[in-house]
Structure 1
């Protein structure tokens, strides 16, 4: 039998451990394989694409469509990252030496990888139907319920990590790498918790709203989808800001600020300012308000009146066809949902509103 070179023995790597590491943290499999620069580049590329996608979708001047399109390169890079980590681990190993790992069930890391995809999938691969079925149902059920109860958010990642640990222990193997398993499970837990937290964190920072009427023409068109910064009281509102609020004519004060019966208007006057509408324009504290976004003069008279404390005076940009403060009075700030800052859809309408 031909002897195996010592250098190959010292460099033996488990391709499916590399794949598991890269599945949890892109680039880590390459670093485990010894291709440190390659792994760091892949990790940086993933991070850069993720940051670019979030910036494009949520930043005022980002292009939403471009961010969504970038999801495809990100997915492609992730798949390449998995393949490449396996490929790099195999380099320098002869076919005869690697042949025991070609039968996938002999490598305990292969069912671990399957369990990263879905908990219990690795157990089913090992023909452990009872454990696999229980983990699969438990993982899917808790992931579904977590969509409605944030308190359950940590449970699905824990089940994923536990499933990976149990299947590694159950899989047939000549030797174990327990230290690598511990690090992998921590990575799986952290990564999945971070990903599953996104649907709960984003709504705390951004609210979506669909423009319901033509009252904000030409700035906003019907069915424009806009992003709104919630709780505007954390920063000062100013005249000219576009805000979303619950309709004060339809919404009781105890339900003010809820995401129903929403309206979109522009702040014209703040608490303590005197507002008047005459001669086709708005006057604030006796001075004419310059509004370049208007396309025609106002055809009604209103005021003068002073905006009371904790209230706003709001008007639609389509002044002569808008039911707003000149009809139903001052807006209590309790009704305000947030400040609109971006049209994010449709693609041809994407633009900042600040």
Structure 2
């Protein structure tokens, strides 16, 4: 199995480990430990009877042997001891990762400059509702994604992959992307020019702007060398809600779906190319960089 496959099934692996170690722990507490206790009591009773007989004959019994006998019988087998030790730790990690916070690593430059390659981020798992692990079914409604949120979700084309982009459109929004400028429901977003951004990997500069998306100001990058034209994408569910032309595209976001784009606008494969993200694919809201081994200054909130 590849590393990618292992990572994509980590939640399932963690769940199985929690169940297995939990079953062993409960089995020991409520059954096996009692059996060992009963066996030890019987052995000690027999030992005490022999000791009493030796004492009656004037022989001093060995009390240390009694303690050693009890310890050897009551001692947990290694497989039970390790399972019992790991169970609370694994269960805690599973609970935290499934319902509270989950760590992710940024693998690509699609969210530059907000997120850099190598950023280790935390994702809030409950802000968009409590979901059952593994099957990702929402059981408790909390909040809905808002425009401007940085969201982790299951890639619609391959749910085994996790993607991270910014929420551009929520259900019912009419999105127009013309000449690399966004309009939502007929209102054009404001763009404040910033100093050019140097991509140190490609040794090239990009135009940088402060985009205001429903009150959420964030930096975006635009490559003036890339045309505004977006080639007609592969067919995706409800693709008829989008139209493409030489200047960009227009989409109406269907109910229960979200339109996502990367902040590195001309270097991001997002909803422009593979369509809308359904609510059931949502993983959580990204909000904090907890480590970047190449640049410790990256640590902190990016919202």
TM-score (norm 1): 0.45
Partner in structure 1 of residue 271 of structure 2: 325
Aligned to 1:263: 163
* Cα drift, residue 348 of structure 1: 2.5
| Structure of greater relative contact order (alpha carbons < 8 Å, 6+ residues apart) | 2
State whether residues 165 and 263 of structure 2, in contact with CA within 8 Å, keep that contact through their aligned partners in structure 1. Answer: yes
Give the deviation of 1:221 after TM superposition: 1.2
Q: 2:186 aligns with which of 270, 273, 286?
A: 286
For 1:134, what is the secondary structure of its paired residue?
Answer: coil
Residue number among 221, 230, 249 corresponding to 1:295 in the alignment: 221
Give the gaps of 5 or more residues in structure 1.
Answer: 1-122, 147-152, 154-194, 252-259
User: Distance between the aligned counterparts of 1:135 and 1:219, measured in 2?
Assistant: 51
CA RMSD of aligned residues (A): 2.6
SS of the counterpart of 1:293? Answer: strand
Aligned to 2:116: 221
Aligned partners of 2:221 and 2:265 also within 8 Å: no
Give the helix-richer structure, 1 or 2: 1
Please list, as runs of the form range in 1=range in 2, the aligned pairs for 1:340-351 lying within 5 A after superposition. 340-346=286-292, 347-351=296-300
Q: Is the 8 A contact 1:283 1:289 kept in 2?
A: yes
Q: How does 1:18-167 map to 2 (within 5 A)?
A: 127-128=68-69, 129-131=71-73, 133-134=75-76, 138-144=80-86, 146=87, 153=88
**1:240-286 alpha-carbon deviations (Å, 9 max, x no partner):** 100011111223xxxxxxxx311110001111110010132111111
Distance 1:235 1:207, change over 3 A: same
Pairwise CA distance, 1:200: 3.4
Please say if 1:352 is aligned against 2:260.
no
Aligned 8 A contact 1:302 1:326 in 2: no
CA distance in 1, matches of 2:157, 2:150: 19
2: CA distance, partners of 1:198 / 1:248: 30
**Partner SS for 1:294:** strand
Q: How many equivalent residue pairs?
A: 175
Rate the CA distance shift 1:349–1:226 in 2: closer, same or farther, 3 A: same
Report if aligned partners of 2:151, 2:167 keep a CA contact under 8 Å in 1. Answer: yes
**How much does 1:227 deviate?**
0.7
Task: Note the residue ranges of structure 2 that are not aligned, 5 or more in a row.
Answer: 1-63, 130-141, 191-210, 212-217, 229-246
- Give the corresponding residue for 2:17: none
Give, in angstroms, the shift of residue 136 of structure 1. Answer: 6.1
Give the structure-2-normalised TM-score: 0.52
**Higher strand fraction (1 or 2):** 2
- Checking the alignment, whether the CA contact within 8 Å between 1:281 and 1:297 is kept in structure 2 is no
Q: Which runs of 4+ in 1 moved over 6 A?
A: none
Q: 1:210 & 1:302 partners in 2: Cα distance?
A: 31
